Amino acid sequence: MIQLQEIYLSFSGKALFNGLSLSINEKDRIGLVGNNGSGKTTLFHIILGKLTPDRGMVEVPKNKTIGYLPQDLVELEPIKIIDFLKNVTGLKSIETSLKFYEHKLALTNPQSDQYQNLLKKYDETSHLFSVFGGYSFESKSKKILHGLGFEEKDYDKLCTEFSGGWKMKILLASILLSNPDIMLLDEPTNHLDTENMEWLEKYLEDYQGTLVTISHDRRFLDKITQSTFEIFNGKLNLYHGNYSFYLKEKDQKRLLLKKEIETQRKKIEKTEAFIERFRYKATKAAQVQSRIRMLEKFDLVEMERETKPVSIHFPPGERSGWEVLKVENLSKEYDGRYIFKNISFSLYREEKVALAGVNGAGKSTLTRIISGNEIPTSGHIIYGDKVKIAFFSQESAQNLNYAHTIWEEVNSVPTKMLDVEKRNLLGAFLFSGDDIYKPIPVLSGGEKARLTLVKILMNETNFLILDEPTNHLDMSTNELFQRALMEYSGTILIVSHDRYFLDNLVERVLEIRDGKIYEYPGNYSYYNEKREQRLALFSDEPDQFDKEKTVQTKKREIRRIEAEARNFLSRKKREIQSRLQPIEDAISKLEKKKSKNEFLLCEPAILTNSEKVQTLMKELKEINEELTVLMQKWESIAEEMDQIDKKEV
C-alpha cells in the first residue's frame, strides 16, 4: 500500500537516510522506533508529502484517507469542541447543507417541480449524513472525549480555552472519530494519563485500518503493534513482532552476527596463513592464486555501529531520618473548589512511591506543595531529619539561567564531578560535542527539561520529587535514567504515565481520586488491578432488589482490602524483624562479655596484675565502641518497626 524505496535524505550535509526502504500493507500495526534524531518524525513527513527526499521512490495511495497526529503542539480554532470535531470529520458541511434544504423546502410549494428536486437533494444529503454517523455523532464524540479525560462541562468550552496537552487530545479525538484508512500517530500517549492510555489501547484494538505509531511507551507498543520498524544508521530494519519481541530478536541477531564475524575472521586468518606459507612454492601456485581470489571476493560481515554505552548514577547523599515526609490533613483549594481535602500519608527512607490519578486530580499540585513551591490551603508538611530535596516539575526548565550556555549551567551546580563525568552525563542526555556550548534560550522545551534532569543528577540529595521526568527522553535514555533511580539510595516520589517504568521502579502507589488519597502496597500493575476492582465494586447503584446483597458484597470487599493491607504490614514487620534479630543477638552477646569484664576488674587477684587489667580495659573499650554502633543500627530499625505498629493501630 505505502512503498518507500532507496530513500536518501541529508540535512546540512549530514546524511539522515542512506538507502532506507519500507513497505506498509493494509491492516498492518507497526511501531516505529529509533533513537532521538534517527528520523522517525521525518519519515512520517515524507509519507504525508510534507517533505521530499533527495532521491528515492515514494508511493502513497491517493484513494486512502490518512489521520496524522503530530508530536508538536497545535493551535485550534476558537469554536466549541463538538463543532471542531464536525469540521474535521466533514460532517459540518453536510449538516449545513441539510439545514439549507430543510429551510428551502419549508418555503417552496409542495406541488412544484422545484420542491421535488429539493426533496431529492434533501434525501441524498440525509442519507450521506446518516452514512457519516451524523445522528449518533454527538454521543460517539462524547464517549471518545470522555475516554481521553474530558468532562461534561468541557463540551461547551472553546478549543482555544484548553492548554496545549488538551488541544492534542482534541486532535486525537478528531482522528479517532474520522476513522481514517491509515493512522500515523507521533507520540500519542505524551499527554495522556495512565487511565486514558488504557482506554486508547482498548479503542485501537477494534480499529480495522493501518496503524503506524511512534512512541516511547513500551507497554503501549507491546499492546497495539504486531511488527516493529527500527531506523538505525539511516536504514530500516523490520522485526515481525511487538516491541518486546524486537528487543529479544535484536539481541539474538547481534549474538548471531558476532558468531558469524568470528567464523569469518578465523576463515580469513586460515586462508592468509595458507597463502603466506605456500606463496613461493611452485607446486602450490595455483592453490595460492585461488585463495587470493577467494579473499578478494569475501563480503566482510560487520557489526552495526552502536552508540557508546554509558551509565549514569546519582551521587550519594547524606542518610536521612526514617520518616522522610509526613503529610497531615493537607487541603488545596482553587477558586472555591477543593483539589484535595484533609489528605494524610507518610514516606519513609529509601521508599520508591508513585503518585497516580487522572489528569486534573491534583498530582502536580501536591508535588509542588511537598517541594515547597506552593502553599497549601490548610494542613501541614513535616520533613524528616537531614532531608535534602531535589524537585523536577513540568515547568522546572524555567529555573535555568538563560544567560548561560549548557556547559556554563552545568558548571554552576556545586558538585564533586570531574569535567569528563559531566560531559558523559550530558552525552547520556543527548548533549554531545559542540551542543554543550548552545545558549539556553535557543533550546527546545524538551532539551531544557533534559538539562534540568542533568542538574538534578549532579546534586547530592536523599529525597527526589519527580513530576513526569521521562516525557522528553527517548527509550535508551529512559532506561539509563530508570537504572539510576533504581540504584538511588534515597526516597523517591514520582508522577509518571510510563507504566513499564513504574512497574520496575516503585513498591507503593498513592492515588489521588475525588480529593482523597488511596494507598496500594505494590507496583503499578498491582495498583491498576486493585483500582479496577474498586471501581467495578463502587461504580453503579444497585437495584432495590439486589441492594442488601450488594451492600454485603461491598462489606466483604472492604474487609478483603483491609486484610491485604494488614498482610502487607505483617510481611514488612517480619522483614524488619529479620534484620533486627541478628543485631539484638550481637548486642546481647557483647553485653554479657562486658558484664564479665567489669566483674573481673573488681576481683582483687586481677587488680594486682597490671597487664591483665590493661587487656581487660582494652577489650572493654572495644566492646563499648561496637555496642554504640550496634545500638545506633538497632534504634534506626526499631524506628521502622514503631512506624509499622502505628499503621496497624
Q: Which CATH architecture fits 65-220?
A: 3-Layer(aba) Sandwich (3.40)
Cβ(424)–Cβ(480) below 8 Å: no
What pLDDT does residue 516 have?
92
Topology of the domain covering 323-537: Rossmann fold (3.40.50)
Residues 6+ apart with CB under 8 A from 635: none
Domain boundaries, the chain: 65-220, 246-297, 323-537, 569-648
What pLDDT does residue 545 have?
42
- pLDDT, tens digit, for every residue of 39-50? 899 999 999 999
Cβ(340)–Cβ(369) below 8 Å: no
Q: What is the pTM of this model?
A: 0.69
pLDDT less than 70: residues of the chain: 298-310, 396-397, 535-569, 643-649
Sheet holding 55-59, edge to edge: 14-24, 2-11, 55-59
What pLDDT does residue 172 have?
94
What pLDDT does residue 444 have?
74
What pLDDT does residue 539 have?
54
Residues 6+ apart with CB under 8 A from 386: 318, 319, 320, 321, 462
- Record the cell numbers describing residue 548, joined without a space: 442488601
Label residue 63 exposed, middle or buried (CB < 10 Å: 0-12, 13-18, 19+): exposed
3-state secondary structure labels for all residues of 134-185: CCCHHHHHHHHHHHCCCCHHHCCCEHHHCCHHHHHHHHHHHHHHHCCCEEEE
Q: 73 to each of 168, 211, 313, 343, 445, how far by Cα in Å?
A: 7, 21, 32, 35, 11
Cβ(278)–Cβ(287) below 8 Å: yes
Classify 622 as helix, strand or coil.
helix
Q: Write the DSSP assignment of 189-237 as a string of letters.
A: TTT--HHHHHHHHHHHHT--SEEEEE-S-HHHHHHH-SEEEEEETTEEE
What pLDDT does residue 431 have?
87
- Record the cell numbers describing residue 622, joined without a space: 572495644
Cβ(147)–Cβ(200) below 8 Å: yes
Classify 540 as helix, strand or coil.
coil
Residue 116 and residue 348: Cα distance in Å, rounded?
79
Cβ(390)–Cβ(456) below 8 Å: yes
65-220 and 323-537 have identical folds: yes
Residue 331 and residue 224: Cα distance in Å, rounded?
39
What pLDDT does residue 368 have?
93
3-state secondary structure labels for all residues of 498-534: CHHHHHHHCCEEEEEECCEEEEECCCHHHHHHHHHHH
What pLDDT does residue 565 have?
62
Residue 96 and residue 86: Cα distance in Å, rounded?
11
